[in-house]
Structure 1
Amino acid sequence: MKQPSSVADVLTLVTSDPGRPRLTWYAAGGERIELSGAVLTNWVSKTTNLLVEEFDAGPGVRIGLDLPAHWRTVVWALAAWRCGAAVVLGGGDSDIVVTDRPASYPAADQLVAVALPGLARRFDGELPAGAIDAASAVMTYGDVIGWAPDVDPAAAALDAEGTSATHTGLLPWAVDGSPTPDGARVLLPAGADRTGDVVALLRQVLGALAGGGSVVVLGASVASELAGDPARRERLVASERVTAGA
């Protein structure tokens, strides 16, 4: 398999088998979300269109993700990288803030509020003036990227408290951090830290997808529950046909 060299290549790869599950998410309360290659790419395309059309996102634009390790965080990171922007974690300076706690950013000039529940159709809470509600706004954009700026390979792609990568170095960084066989279905227990655990999640997800594989991500609370219930964990591994990380 030819190694992808960009996030655009990765998205092309995962849609080569459009119905295959690529990202499966487990959260508290029995929530399970499964995104096929086609559905994942549609989410990324819609979100990329929003970033480009609403905020002129592109090379040199810094997008602060204040989100937990979550499937929606993966989508926003892939969208930022698809249009050549930088993902900023850990509170560094950013031009756009994407967060599930918008009340913490009353003075942000460009703010996106993200509702985390899988079936959310709007953000449940008061929004600062001018904030965009991602739950409703993303769905208004097309499933195919209309236009996105060319990615500058030398521009920053990731800035996260001691971890950084350019766009040309992003895929090698991800693949090196996800040493699993090509095509593997990888179990990824997520942690609760919004910087280190999110960096680890993004690295492992991107690396697995670049290898033609897929991921099963356990939200932090589910990961903790399953760590104390080996039998239940084994049932999940079997039902999801996990082949790595178990």
Structure 2
Amino acid sequence: MNASDRTPADLLRSALAADPARPLVTFYDDATGERVELSVATFANWVAKTANLVQGDLAAEPGDRLALLLPAHWQSAVWLLACSSVGVVADVHGDPAAADLVVSGPDTLERARACRGERVALALRPLGGRFPQAPDGFADYAVEVPGQGDRFAPYAPVDPAAPALAVGGVELTGDQLVTRARQDAAELGLAPGARLLTGRAYDTWEGLSAGLFAPLASGGSVVLCRHLDRLDEDGLAQRVRTERVTRSAV
């Protein structure tokens, strides 16, 4: 990765320039049997479409706060990078009533209704499927995102010194986030091409770092597992072999 990268969106651009075809996020849900693998190019395309939705249809601006009420999931990772691309603060599991807009999974819709701004709901179904019927008062992400543009350009440059992420009582600027992600990557022993398996939740910095930011900062990839506790010892060993995992943070 480039030493000049100062935001998560910078890290993704560098990864795309280096090797767009390599895997970046491999997601498992061990409650449903779902497996999704996204290359850098595919992930970046989802990020661009989502950032265009955020900036265009949702009219979010740099400095706005987005309450991100999502579990560890590949679509959550997309939203984190989309927020960074626009300059919106991703407040992970933050207070919707204090946010300018909210993004919710199916289990947190009632809590999300406290937001007075734009509301987006994700069904979190396999293959990014939509709700059978969109929840009242919410835009269905799976309906809104496909028609968005495949390239994204922010209306204003993103300031690396501006707040970018809030999670578990920690608030980081883009610059601080990249620095911490690089430090974590070194502590986890991640090098370019490394495959990190993690079952950590997306509710702490440690979970977000292992589940996205540290692998991205190191030129590696993540095997992101939801409901990993449903996998027995043999199943976990088989996944490590199948996915060619080189490091674990469970």
Match of 1:115 in 2: 123
Whichever residue aligns with residue 9 of structure 1, its letter is D
Distance of aligned partners of 1:111 and 1:5 in 2 relative to their CA distance in 1, 3 Å threshold: same
Match of 1:210 in 2: 217
2:167 aligned with 1:160: yes
SS at match of 2:123: coil
Match of 1:10 in 2: 11
Residue pair 2:70, 2:104 contacting (<8 A) in 1 also: yes
Distance of aligned partners of 1:181 and 1:89 in 2 relative to their CA distance in 1, 3 Å threshold: closer
Residue pair 1:103, 1:127 contacting (<8 A) in 2 also: no
Match of 1:98 among 91, 103, 124: 103
CA distance in 1, matches of 2:122, 2:23: 23
Unaligned runs of 5+ in 1: none
Match of 2:197 in 1: 187
Residue pair 2:48, 2:150 contacting (<8 A) in 1 also: yes
2:52 aligned with 1:46: no
What is the Cα deviation at residue 14 of structure 1? Answer: 2.3
Residue pair 2:7, 2:160 contacting (<8 A) in 1 also: no
Residue pair 1:6, 1:167 contacting (<8 A) in 2 also: yes
What is the Cα deviation at residue 34 of structure 1? Answer: 0.2
CA distance in 1, matches of 2:61, 2:215: 25
What is the Cα deviation at residue 134 of structure 1? Answer: 0.3
Match of 2:136 among 115, 128, 150: 128
CA distance in 2, matches of 1:41, 1:120: 15
SS at match of 2:126: coil
CA distance in 1, matches of 2:241, 2:45: 28
Whichever residue aligns with residue 100 of structure 2, its letter is D
SS at match of 1:177: helix
CA distance in 2, matches of 1:241, 1:151: 36
2:69 aligned with 1:66: yes
Residue pair 2:121, 2:139 contacting (<8 A) in 1 also: yes
Give the TM-score of the pair, scaled to structure 2. 0.87
Distance of aligned partners of 1:216 and 1:148 in 2 relative to their CA distance in 1, 3 Å threshold: farther
Whichever residue aligns with residue 24 of structure 1, its letter is T
Match of 1:84 among 84, 87, 92: 87
Residue pair 1:99, 1:113 contacting (<8 A) in 2 also: yes
CA distance in 1, matches of 2:121, 2:93: 17
Give the TM-score of the pair, scaled to structure 1. 0.89
C-alpha deviations, 1:27-75, integer Å up to 9, x for none? 1222100000100000000000000002232321101001111111111
Residue pair 1:58, 1:151 contacting (<8 A) in 2 also: no
What is the Cα deviation at residue 126 of structure 1? Answer: 4.6
Identity of counterpart residues, as a percentage? 37
Whichever residue aligns with residue 13 of structure 1, its letter is S
C-alpha deviations, 1:63-109, integer Å up to 9, x for none? 10011111111110110011111111233321010001334333533
Distance of aligned partners of 1:152 and 1:190 in 2 relative to their CA distance in 1, 3 Å threshold: same
C-alpha deviations, 1:172-199, integer Å up to 9, x for none? 12222333322211111133xx633xx3
What is the Cα deviation at residue 146 of structure 1? Answer: 4.3
CA distance in 2, matches of 1:213, 1:145: 24
Match of 2:22 in 1: 20
Residue pair 2:195, 2:245 contacting (<8 A) in 1 also: yes
What is the Cα deviation at residue 217 of structure 1? Answer: 0.7
CA distance in 2, matches of 1:190, 1:17: 27
What is the Cα deviation at residue 8 of structure 1? Answer: 2.7
